[in-house]
């Protein structure tokens, strides 16, 4: 007896079961009729045999076909990319095996190998001094007997006489130091470096002499220890950073044309002297490269403003260039870059200066050398707050223009140097926080005789220019 047989015919449960089975048969019959009708329509439209289609099945099959096609294309591309360097890899592997076989004969340290992919016509240049801004300026001056360009360095006595200063920068009363200036000037009086009894100055007492009280105090300076620019050479601690004869004008010009669009020296007389010396170096003209071409026929310019007077004589400022475009004959055979000087003597940024700096925003390969501080008494607080931080803020996090900040030179006065050293220390700390590179030429002025106790000649500034050119050379050393 079936499970349904236990229910009597006509009972409610039996009637419910029968009605269920009837509905099931009816639904199956209707479905078969619909499928038969669909197949009939398909056969009528195409003339093909009966095909039962399902929309979801067609959709899935389409996706699978598309995925397989994409995978096939990717596989072919990968095979083509890998096959190209195959022969080169085999050659390098053979060479490496050859080197490994010889490594048993010679013991050598193991270095991590780095492979650089270079252009076919590219040969990386030799870097003479990798960290040139720091390494090249560490060293000392040494007395040398060598021939220099007569226009590069006039005698100190000749320049002092032409500037109306005493030959030895001394006073008749033997007083010296920052608080006892040369009459009618603001220049500190010095002691006679050629004298046997008065070559030391004790700035705290203000007297010249040669005793321990004059020469052995913290505020003392000995004129006999100073060396003239005429017969000295800079000897860096790192021999690879000797920059005297390694590269020349042709290479310098080529380097600048590839790495620099604009180079701006921004600041006071220290920045201006740096600028004039760089132009003189690039033109190989130390006589009058700094005199603007519109003033070359001026008799006063040619008489009073040649050689070191281009950077030492205040009366020559009106004749000097402010852009490489003003150089007589141009620089570097008309290469497409500009070097300029923008005067700035204040501890704040004026509206005109702000407008100029905003015009440099985002300009690729534009460099600005910030060199200021002397004319506001080495006040590092004002320099940082109203000048340095503000100029960096104007960049709006853009990598261009690229800033380099220059430290102050040392002078002969120990009292002045105390403030300058504090200024330099604070500036270097702030530059590190702001991510600005530092050009620190402080040691370049150590034990070097100055024309007036605080300003240096063309040879000194030319050395700075070479350091800067090597900096750009290293930037262009790769491919």
Instruction: For the chain, list the domains and their CATH numbers.
Output: 132-152+230-477 (3.40.50.1110), 168-225 (no CATH)
**CA–CA dist 276, 319 (Å, integer):** 12
Q: pLDDT tens digits, residue range 341-396?
A: 999 988 788 889 899 988 999 999 999 999 988 877 889 999 999 889 999 998 88
Q: Is residue 39's pLDDT more than 50?
A: no
Identify the band that residue 471 occupies on the pLDDT scale cut at 50, 70 and 90: very high
Q: pLDDT tens digits, residue range 406-427?
A: 999 999 999 999 999 999 999 9
pLDDT at 92: 45
pLDDT at 50: 44
pTM for the whole thing?
0.72
First to last CA, the chain: 96
Give the whole-number percent of the chain exceeding pLDDT 90: 49
pLDDT at 11: 52
Average pLDDT, integer, range 48-53: 44
Instruction: Work out the burial of residue 304: count CB atoms within 10 Å of its CB; fewer than 13 is exposed, 13-18 middle, 19 or more buried.
Output: middle
pLDDT at 196: 76
Strand ordering across the sheet containing 262-267 = 338-343, 262-267, 366-371, 402-406, 437-439
Identify the band that residue 20 occupies on the pLDDT scale cut at 50, 70 and 90: low
User: For residues 430 and 83, which has the higher predicted lDDT (pLDDT)?
Assistant: 430
- All residues at 6 or more sequence positions from 206 whose CB lies less than 8 Å from its CB, including other chains: 175, 176, 177, 179, 180
Number of H helices, E strands in the chain: 15, 12
Out of 45-54, 220-229, 259-268, pick the least confident.
45-54
Retrieve residue 285's tokens: 């003209």
pLDDT at 408: 95
**CA–CA dist 404, 472 (Å, integer):** 12
Within 10 A of 16 (CB to CB), how many other CB atoms are there? Answer: 10
**CA–CA dist 310, 301 (Å, integer):** 9
Q: Is residue 85's pLDDT more than 70?
A: no
User: For residues 387 and 231, which has the higher predicted lDDT (pLDDT)?
Assistant: 387
Out of 22-26, 235-239, 422-426, pick the least confident.
22-26
Residue 384: closest CA among 440, 431, 442, 439? 431
Q: Is residue 181's pLDDT more than 80?
A: yes
Average pLDDT, integer, range 109-115: 34
Retrieve residue 439's tokens: 């050009």
Q: Is residue 139's pLDDT more than 70?
A: yes
pLDDT at 130: 86
- All residues at 6 or more sequence positions from 375 whose CB lies less than 8 Å from its CB, including other chains: 268, 345, 346
Retrieve residue 334's tokens: 């008309």
pLDDT at 44: 44
Q: Is residue 200's pLDDT more than 70?
A: yes
457, 312 Cβ separation under 8 angstroms = yes
pLDDT at 170: 94
**CA–CA dist 456, 459 (Å, integer):** 8
Q: Is residue 198's pLDDT more than 70?
A: yes
211, 178 Cβ separation under 8 angstroms = no
Q: pLDDT tens digits, residue range 281-308?
A: 999 999 999 999 999 999 999 988 999 8
Strand ordering across the sheet containing 207-209 = 207-209, 200-202, 220-222
When the pLDDT of each residue in the chain is averaged and rounded to a whole number, the result is 80
Q: What does the CA dihedral 130, 134, 139, 141 come to, rounded to 10 degrees?
A: 100
Residue 332: closest CA among 270, 279, 409? 279
pLDDT at 107: 38
pLDDT at 96: 43
pLDDT at 414: 93
Out of 54-63, 110-119, 140-149, 309-318, pick the least confident.
110-119
Q: Is residue 195's pLDDT more than 80?
A: no
pLDDT at 336: 83
- All residues at 6 or more sequence positions from 114 whose CB lies less than 8 Å from its CB, including other chains: none
Average pLDDT, integer, range 233-246: 84
Average pLDDT, integer, range 87-100: 43
Q: How far is CA 180 from CA 175, 197, 417, in A?
A: 6, 19, 16
Residue 468: closest CA among 439, 428, 431, 435? 439
**CA–CA dist 476, 252 (Å, integer):** 11
Q: Is residue 216's pLDDT more than 90?
A: yes
Q: Is residue 10's pLDDT more than 90?
A: no
pLDDT at 347: 76
**CA–CA dist 38, 45 (Å, integer):** 11
209, 196 Cβ separation under 8 angstroms = no
Identify the band that residue 45 occupies on the pLDDT scale cut at 50, 70 and 90: very low
């Amino acid at each position: 007896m079936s499970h349904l047989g236990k229910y009597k015919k006509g009972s409610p449960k039996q009637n419910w079961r029968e009605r269920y089975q009837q509905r099931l048969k009816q639904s199956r019959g209707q479905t078969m009729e619909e499928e038969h009708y669909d197949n009939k329509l398909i056969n009528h439209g195409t003339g093909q045999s009966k095909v039962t289609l399902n929309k979801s099945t067609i959709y899935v099959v389409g996706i699978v076909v598309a995925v397989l096609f994409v995978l096939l294309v990717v596989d072919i591309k990968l095979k083509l990319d890998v096959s190209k360097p195959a022969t080169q890899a085999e050659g390098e592997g053979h060479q490496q095996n050859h080197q490994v076989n010889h490594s048993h004969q010679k013991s050598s340290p193991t270095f991590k190998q780095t492979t650089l992919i270079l252009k076919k016509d590219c040969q990386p240049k030799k870097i003479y001094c990798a960290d040139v801004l720091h390494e090249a300026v560490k060293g000392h001056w040494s007395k040398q007997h060598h021939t220099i360009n007569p226009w590069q360095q006039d005698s100190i006595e000749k320049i002092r006489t032409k500037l109306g200063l005493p030959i030895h920068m001394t006073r008749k009363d033997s007083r010296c130091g920052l608080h006892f200036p040369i009459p009618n000037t603001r220049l500190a009086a010095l002691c006679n470096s050629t004298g046997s009894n008065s070559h030391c100055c004790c700035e705290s007492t203000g007297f010249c002499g040669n005793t321990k009280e004059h020469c052995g105090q913290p505020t003392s300076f000995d004129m006999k220890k100073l060396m003239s620019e005429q017969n000295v050479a800079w000897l860096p601690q790192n021999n690879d950073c000797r920059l005297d004869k390694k590269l020349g004008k042709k290479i310098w010009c080529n380097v600048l044309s590839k790495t620099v669009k604009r180079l701006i020296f921004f600041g006071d007389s220290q920045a201006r002297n740096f600028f004039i010396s760089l132009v003189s170096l690039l033109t190989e003209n130390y006589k009058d490269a700094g005199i603007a071409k519109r003033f070359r026929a001026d008799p006063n310019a040619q008489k009073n403003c040649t050689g070191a007077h281009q950077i030492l004589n205040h009366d020559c400022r009106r004749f000097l260039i402010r852009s490489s475009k003003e150089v007589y004959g141009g620089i570097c055979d008309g290469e497409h870059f500009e070097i300029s000087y923008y005067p700035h003597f204040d501890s704040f940024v004026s509206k005109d200066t702000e407008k100029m700096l905003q015009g440099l925003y985002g300009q690729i390969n534009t460099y600005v050398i910030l060199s200021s501080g002397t004319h506001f008494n080495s006040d590092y607080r004002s320099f940082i707050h109203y000048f340095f931080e503000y100029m960096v803020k104007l960049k709006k996090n853009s990598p261009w223009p690229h800033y380099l900040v220059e430290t102050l030179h040392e002078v002969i006065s120990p009292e002045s140097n105390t403030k300058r050293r504090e200024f330099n220390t604070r500036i270097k700390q702030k530059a590190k926080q702001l991510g600005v590179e530092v050009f620190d030429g402080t040691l370049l002025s150590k034990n070097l005789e100055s024309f007036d106790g605080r300003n240096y000649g063309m040879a000194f500034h030319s050395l700075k220019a070479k350091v800067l050119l090597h900096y750009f050379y290293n930037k262009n050393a790769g491919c």
